[in-house]
Chain A
């Protein structure tokens, strides 16, 4: 994406181009200053820090790429990377599919739509910490309501805290509860931009409900999907509050992700240079993914 979307043919003479440029930079200045000072500058700082060995007090020692070399042989780093990738690969499609399904449902003939819509976006208003605390209440394997229900029904209880897979599932479920509303909202906005006449035409062609969904709805909400894909991946790479409160990365690191690992390394064991290196890797992976996505969909106009 080398140029911003240009919508008009270039007029032969545009008076005040310099003035327009000046206005552009002026309008951007507050935002760029904020981003520059509070995001990019610390990022440079983090990059420098990742080349040092420091205990968090006083100045660090320059060690070159030592921290990065350590990463290669660090089992927990690979485990966290794998978990992050897995989490992203599970949560992104699931929250998008559920979001789209519910959006289609709410976009159809249905009594009480406004009520349902309110219910669905309600979790968006809840903080990550509170969401995770709710998760603790629901999924505790000794006193949680889910396992009480299972025991009540004579089924074996699920080891949400002591089983690695179960713990991972609990993090995914809590995340879905929190995120589906946002996905639904974006899809609903997308669906409402589709006129009913398209479906009428489809009906005349004898398309079944599923065919209409598959060949009309899905392509029509493409731009929403693209936006959500990027957003969900970015979010999944950064999942912190929920893991931090719900599982603390356990059991046996089954739910340790890169962000929690970096946090632990930087603020618990105070190995801040190493933590910065983990952060850099995380950033590079996210950027690579986004760039890749962007390249493969260059042709797609994001603005729909």
Chain B
């Protein structure tokens, strides 16, 4: 993905256009720019508003007038949230759980994706469809029995109660198969003829070629786990082990909702992922572009 941030895009420059055509092109360009800006404003506004609210005093939020910038900036909401809740602990829990899930997902799905893409064996088509069909299952459908299972396995209340069910996702399998199917089979065959075992082929040939895929899988998984809330809510019990999204619920008090505090907390929850996203988006987009979904 080459996205020049400078004047012109990747479309080959037209050969010496006439003046009229150039004017029309300029009008079109302006039009496109305006459109892109408009879309960006619409998408950014809610995020901006979240920041504004988190920096506003409660009195100002309750005042009825329309303002797009708080009269006096205050960090009071952040201070209150950080004082009243073990945010740092929850942050650590979120990181621990998300990273372990992401690593597990990458490992498990790469192996499975490789098998589906490059190896021939009886039943692979059926198994692939079976894995794929689990994507259709909302977690709410199996929540009750999943809970009983996790309890029966003695995992309830520990990180594993969140990690293992979350890592059991087929989305990565699908993505991995799409990507790895593009690896020329001759490459694999050649290595096999040289006497390399399947595992050696996977480690020496497939893994180095899969970096963009690994990046995408890792991020998708990290993001999903970081933001997950329905299942961890049920699976965790001690507040010392809670993740950030559950903490967000604390702020939905029984009476008047504290918008400033809620948004301050939400911002703390969202910020790390947004930063990561912006930092690594190039790899992310590349990975998607090359994952063969097209």
Binding site for B on A (CB under 8 A): 1-5, 7-8, 14, 16-17, 19-21, 23-28, 30-32, 34-35, 37-46, 48-49, 56, 102, 105-130, 133-135, 137-138, 143, 145, 148-149, 152, 177, 180-181, 185-186, 188-190, 192-193, 196, 221, 223-224, 227, 234, 237-238, 240-241, 259, 262-263, 266-267, 272, 275-276, 279-280, 282-283, 286-287, 290, 302-304
Q: How far is the CA of A28 from the CA of B143 in the complex (A)?
A: 25
Task: Tell me the nearest residue of chain B to A27, going by C-beta.
Answer: B115
Q: How far is the CA of A201 from the CA of B280 in the complex (A)?
A: 36
Given A38-B165, A119-B44, A287-B133, A23 and B115 contact (CB-CB distance below 8 Å): yes
With both chains docked as a complex, state the minimum distance between the C-beta of B171 and any C-beta of chain A, in angstroms. 9
Q: How far is the CA of A35 from the CA of B11 in the complex (A)?
A: 45
- Partner among A125, A189, A283 whose Cβ is within 8 Å of the Cβ of B137: A283
Binding site for A on B (CB under 8 A): 1, 3-12, 29, 32-33, 35-36, 39-40, 42-47, 49-50, 53, 61, 64, 66, 107-109, 111-112, 114-116, 119-122, 124-125, 127-131, 133-138, 140-146, 148-149, 164-165, 167-168, 170, 173, 178, 181-182, 185, 192, 197-199, 202, 223, 226-227, 229-230, 245, 248, 259, 262-263, 266, 269-270, 273-274, 276-278, 281, 284-285, 288-294
**Chain A residues whose C-beta falls within 8 Å of the C-beta of B120 in the assembled complex:** 14, 17, 20-21, 24
With both chains docked as a complex, state the minimum distance between the C-beta of A133 and any C-beta of chain B, in angstroms. 6
Contact B3 A113 (CB under 8 A): yes
Given A7-B185, A39-B168, A105-B36, A189 and B270 contact (CB-CB distance below 8 Å): no
- Partner among A31, A48, A180 whose Cβ is within 8 Å of the Cβ of B109: A31
Q: How far is the CA of A19 from the CA of B192 in the complex (A)?
A: 11
Given A126-B270, A127-B229, A134 and B138 contact (CB-CB distance below 8 Å): no
**Chain B residues whose C-beta falls within 8 Å of the C-beta of A49 in the assembled complex:** 144-145
**Chain B residues whose C-beta falls within 8 Å of the C-beta of A31 in the assembled complex:** 108-109, 111-112, 131, 170, 173
Q: How far is the CA of A289 from the CA of B134 in the complex (A)?
A: 14
**Chain A residues whose C-beta falls within 8 Å of the C-beta of B43 in the assembled complex:** 119-120, 122-123, 177, 180-181
Task: Tell me the nearest residue of chain A to B126, going by C-beta.
Answer: A2
Residue from the set B49, B142, B281 with the largest chain A CB neighbour count within 10 Å:
B142
Contact B248 A45 (CB under 8 A): no
Q: List 20 interface pairs A-B (beta carbons < 8 Å), by A numbering.
A: A3-B125, A4-B124, A7-B181, A8-B185, A27-B112, A32-B112, A38-B164, A42-B149, A110-B29, A111-B33, A114-B3, A125-B277, A134-B49, A135-B46, A190-B293, A190-B294, A279-B140, A280-B141, A283-B141, A286-B136
Task: Tell me the nearest residue of chain B to A199, going by C-beta.
Answer: B11
Q: How far is the CA of A195 from the CA of B57 in the complex (A)?
A: 54
Contact A25 B121 (CB under 8 A): yes
**Chain A residues whose C-beta falls within 8 Å of the C-beta of B131 in the assembled complex:** 31-32, 35
- Partner among A113, A279, A286 whose Cβ is within 8 Å of the Cβ of B9: A113
With both chains docked as a complex, state the minimum distance between the C-beta of A268 and any C-beta of chain B, in angstroms. 12
With both chains docked as a complex, state the minimum distance between the C-beta of B35 and any C-beta of chain A, in angstroms. 6
Contact B229 A129 (CB under 8 A): yes
Contact A138 B116 (CB under 8 A): no
Contact B269 A130 (CB under 8 A): yes
Given A123-B43, A186-B293, A4 and B36 contact (CB-CB distance below 8 Å): no
Task: Tell me the nearest residue of chain B to A186, going by C-beta.
Answer: B293
Contact A303 B181 (CB under 8 A): yes
Contact B230 A138 (CB under 8 A): no
Contact B288 A276 (CB under 8 A): no
**Chain A residues whose C-beta falls within 8 Å of the C-beta of B259 in the assembled complex:** 137
Contact B39 A130 (CB under 8 A): no
- Partner among B115, B119, B122, B285 whose Cβ is within 8 Å of the Cβ of A189: B285
Given contact pairs A31-B109, A189-B294, a sample of 8 additional A-B residue pairs in the complex whose CB atoms are under 8 Å apart:
A4-B124, A19-B198, A25-B121, A30-B108, A110-B29, A121-B281, A237-B138, A238-B140
